[in-house]
Amino acid sequence: MAEAATLGTPPAVAPKPALIRRELAALLVLAVSSGFQQGYFVPLFPIVTDRYRIGVAALAWTVTAPALVAVVATPVLGVLGDRLGHARVLRATACAVAAGAMLIAFAPDYPVLLCGRVLQGLLAGFLPLMFALIRARHSAEDTRRAIAHLSGALLSGVLIGNVCASKLQTVALSVAAVGAVMGVVMLWRVPERGTRPRLTPEAAGVDWWGAVLLAAGLVPILLALHEGAAWGWRSLPVIGCVAAGMSSLVTWAVVERRRAAPLIDVRRLFRPRLLPVFVLGWCVHFVVIGGQISYTTYFTARGGLGLSASAVGPILLPAFSAMALLSALTARIGKAIGYRAALVLGAALLLAGAGGVLVRHGSGADFAVLLALAGAGMGLIAGAGRILVIDAVRPEEVATSEGLFELLITLGAAVGSAGYAAILSSGANSDGSGGYQAAWSVGAAVAATGLIAATVLACRRGRDEA
């Protein structure tokens, strides 16, 4: 089978080009707004700590809480979109996220701020719903271009949010709220037209028990990953959370395999055309997103580069820029060399950047170049990976399957962050350095695993076409 197989049958009556452009513009605005809200909050940590007089433990919950919401909401929102209509569910989700941004901007106290962050955790459901909308409306090639542009817009939003928060500080809170509301307003220009599939009464329901079991499995494990450094990795709470989570996940997998219309088809994880993409997506987020804790602390550590905090942003800027640019260019690159080859190229760039820091880490310029390589690899993997996931499933599975991809990469970032933190903590010296070589060695090994997965997928293409 050729890789350029159609992504789905376009509507019998195609919408007018002007309407298509208007709808794509609305989704691009929402993608940029989503990225902004994912990139603007962390740089404001010192301001948030002073304004609400909270400690590190309370501040950590502003990151942990939305992450917990994301891992549960992402597959549920995807299923709801496939069952009830993607535009309808996307509008409701965008309204909830906008409400969260407003709460954060005007929060009088910490509990209100935390409520706003919880609502922002629903952001993770945006891309699966947007991609499902695109596939139902457009030809294969137009769909691939739109996915690449939306992925690039998301990463551009993250970059803009990070820069805006660093320069404008508290003004970024209001900018995020305005952008979220603007995204909601633009979405009203996107009708439901032709996106609701015809399903049997049994399949039309939502597997809520599956959602409960999945939450009971993922939430304790993610909680242990986020709080492990504070609780102690060998402490009873961490061990208990991991044990409870694993037991619930095993139960969930057994139950889901027996259901006619499961929340997530467990067998989909092991499809030969999807498993390598899922593995590579997990690996790149482990290395690039999870690894940020090692890079940024090394920049300012006395035993590292010893730079000021203001120097961190400029060093990371090339990486974020490369992510956004390569993601936006994925459709052109994929058309020229194939999307599976684009994944191999992205994985090679990731390994070059992750492995390069092991031998070149003496200056900010070294990191700027090497992290830009890794960022470029992540941009290609983000765009091409999502395209290949959508290419491999039926139209009625788009939001659910893409939601599974987003869930796995979220877990990759969470596991990476916790893993890097654990390695650095165990190898810390009195001057605040130590453990970096070990952490970066693990990152390079994970990146190599991603390259193997991408190569396996590319070789499978040759067998499929033989």
Query: By C-alpha distance, which of 423, 432, 385, 434 is closest to 405?
Result: 385
* 3-state class (DSSP) for residue 146: helix
What are 105-157's pLDDT values in tens digits?
888 888 999 999 999 989 888 888 888 888 777 777 777 788 888 888 888 88
What pLDDT does residue 381 have?
Answer: 93
Q: Could you name the CATH architecture of 267-466?
A: Up-down Bundle (1.20)
d(CA 158, CA 32): 8
CATH 2.40.128.690 applies to domain 15-195: no
What are 364-404's pLDDT values in tens digits?
888 999 999 999 999 999 889 988 888 877 766 777 777 78
d(CA 171, CA 165): 8
139-151: b or e for each residue (b if 16 or more CB lie within 10 Å)?
A: ebebbbbbbbbbb
Q: What is the 3-state secondary structure (H, E, C) of 411-427?
A: HHHHHHHHHHHHHHHHC
| Shared fold status for 15-195 and 267-466 | yes
Residue 229 one-letter amino acid? A
Which of the pair, 16 or 266, is modelled with greater confidence? 266
What are 164-215's pLDDT values in tens digits?
777 777 788 888 888 888 888 888 777 665 545 554 444 556 667 877 888 8
Residue length of the chain: 466
The answer to whether 83 and 200 are in contact (CB under 8 A) is: no
Query: By C-alpha distance, which of 386, 403, 397 is closest to 72?
Result: 403
d(CA 214, CA 266): 12
What pLDDT does residue 405 have?
Answer: 84
Is the pLDDT at 16 greater than 60, yes or no? no
What pLDDT does residue 237 have?
Answer: 87
Measured over the CA atoms of residue 6, residue 131, residue 77 and residue 411, the dihedral's sign is positive
Is the pLDDT at 466 greater than 50, yes or no? no
The confidence band for 9, taking pLDDT boundaries of 50, 70 and 90, is very low
**What residues does each domain of the chain span?**
15-195, 208-262, 267-466
Write the DSSP string, 273-285. TTHHHHHHHHHHH
